[in-house]
Amino acid sequence: MAAAPQVICLGEALVDRLGPLGGDPTTAPPDQCDDRLGGAPANVACALARLGTPAAFVGRLGCDPIGDAFSRLLAERGVHLSGLQRDASRPTRIVLVRRDATGDRSFGGFAGDRGERFADQALDATAVDAALQPLLAEARWLQVGTIPLASPASASALEAAVRLVAAAEVPIALDVNWRPTFWDPAAAAAAGPPDAAVALMRPLLQRAALIKLAAEEAQWLFGSSDPAVIRASLPQQPAVVVTDGGAQVAWCFGASSGVMPAYSVPVVDSTGAGDAFLAGLLHQLCSHPQLLEAGSAEAVRFASACGALVCGGAGAIDPQPTDAQVEAFLAASV
Q: Give the model's pLDDT for residue 42.
A: 97
Residue 234: count other Cβ atoms within 10 Å of its Cβ: 16
For residue 14, being part of any structural domain is answered with yes
Alpha carbon distance 120, 176 (integer Å): 17
14 contacts 62 by C-beta, under 8 angstroms: no
For residue 45, being part of any structural domain is answered with yes
According to DSSP H, which parts of 81-214 are helical? 125-132, 152-168, 180-183, 195-205
For residue 57, being part of any structural domain is answered with yes
Alpha carbon distance 269, 313 (integer Å): 6
The total number of residues written for the chain in this structure: 334
Alpha carbon distance 9, 168 (integer Å): 16
pTM, whole model, 2 decimals? 0.94
113 contacts 92 by C-beta, under 8 angstroms: no
124-151: per-residue pLDDT in tens?
999 999 999 999 999 999 999 999 999 9
Q: Which residues of 14-51 are buried (b: 16+ CB within 10 A; e: fewer)?
A: bbbbbbeeebebeebeeeebbbbbbbbbbbbbbbbbbb
For residue 333, being part of any structural domain is answered with no
For residue 138, being part of any structural domain is answered with yes
135: left (phi > 0), else alpha (psi -120 to 50), else beta?
alpha
For residue 227, being part of any structural domain is answered with yes
Q: Count CA atoms within 13 Å of residue 302 on its CB side.
A: 21
**Into how many domains does the chain fold?**
1
Ranges in the chain, pLDDT < 70: 1-2, 101-107
- Strands 210-214 and 172-175, bridge-based pairing: parallel
97 contacts 16 by C-beta, under 8 angstroms: yes
For residue 334, being part of any structural domain is answered with no
138 contacts 6 by C-beta, under 8 angstroms: yes
For residue 1, being part of any structural domain is answered with no
**CATH code: domain of residue 38:** 3.40.1190.20
What is the residue range of 67's domain?
A: 7-327
Q: Give the model's pLDDT for residue 105.
A: 63
